[in-house]
Chains A and B, each alone.
Chain A
Amino acid sequence: MSLPASRRRGIHLSLLLHFTRQSLVDRYAGSVLGALWAFIMPLVMILIFVFVFSKIMGGRLGEVSPALGEYGYSIYLVSGILGWNAFSNTVTRMSSVYLERAAVIARVDLPLVQLPLFIPLTEVLIFAVSFSFFIGFLLLLGHGPGPEYIWLPLILAVQMLLAWSLGFICAVLSVLLRDVRELVAVAMQLWFWLTPLVYVMGILPQWLQSLMLLNPMVPIVNSWRDVVLYQQAPSLVGLGAVALLAMLLLGLGLLLFRRVEAELRDLL
């Protein structure tokens, strides 16, 4: 068993903010719109979903929430997908974080556990801006925020904790075996369709619906919809179970990391 070479210093908050800034602002250095590009993509997505899908599919899926009429499906879609995007981007980006920054990690003593924190931070920021835009649209429809929005930070926190734990494990494994990075991309695609994001749970056969209970993203997506679409408090049992699972995964990830850190650093 290896002995620690030194006290590893904690990460500076300023370094974390620097990385966040780098992935949000510096990435677009030299472009006219700059950091706006980071937000344009999610905003375009919302616009497409709201204005295109409401016209095409809105009529057929009107039963989602009769009060909202043709926009019901759009809200159903966007309320789930905004959260999903933050989740999926975090896991995907985290899984390659060590490989992408190998050049720096191999030369500068960076705390590897905290280093990837800038990714969920970035994604939360993008999510916050996109979600504000979404709220604006909801206000236009007269379906604006109520007191149940107090639950949103909790849902976000549980979701990002899960993303962080999964992403961290993938990040460690992808250094040991490069295939993991590609595998994650494929898995996230599958997971997207195994989660009721674009379809309604009710269209699935009963056996598949009960199988869906194993998908930790189902309670999360349902919670987003509970608050945004149905304007009610989310099911805390589901959220609690996901939080527990996330902590378990995090513990597992940290154990794995401690076991392979020396080798991991040699490989970068």
Chain B
Amino acid sequence: MLTKRIIPCLDIKDGHTVKGINFLELRSVGDPVEMAEAYSGQGADELVFLDISATIEGRKAFSELVERIALHINIPFTVGGGISTVEDAAVLLRAGADKVSVNSAAVRNPSLISDIASRFGAQCVVVAVDARNVDGVWRVTTHGGSRLSDKELFSWAKQAEALGAGEILFTSMDHDGTCGGYACAEYRKLSDILGIPVIASGGAGNAGHIVDVLSPEGGNADAALAASIFHYGDVRIPDLKRQLAACGIPVRQVPGSTTAG
């Protein structure tokens, strides 16, 4: 049976992780490759690396990092942050990333999705959508949630699918950072209207929130992405997977994955 995926997300600046993991004994807290290996060993199903560098040097360091990650880890990973052209995507895919995620640039220029999909395949295009509820309408935002666009979440997700998106990664800006749970009703609707996988992001505060967003009666998302709760050790992936399995949600158990850090 196809399993639901658990995806830790790492923010990278100038080739280093912004937040260290504080529950694993790492030689170098800021080394993304070591963090990636640690998560992979714990049973993470995929990883996401978001480049938040603001400089050209930082971006170059990121693509070099992608090469190192690809050499060292043996599970799929997605990279994103600031991809605005097909060439940006090509550099990262050639460096060894399995998928790229596009966000603001696709809102501005939707054909970016079809351009990347037609050249590298739909399976490697993740369309990330940040949206917030404004007077009952889920408005798509850009630039990390700071700007409202004229697009609406559900119609934009459908359009992205039609353009060749392989997956939709929706972050509710109303839930992100609250640790109060995911926007389950919205994931459920996305899952109903789309024929491609939906990744939930934003709001995880405990393992129960992840159970809710993945369960068929809840958000019915195909995958759950989270950052802080994994980095700070509030939720450990082997424990989370045991809890999901106990709730009847199919997950991949990794034999020998360690619980303690």
Do A and B come from the same complex? no
| A-to-B contact residues, CB < 8 Å | none
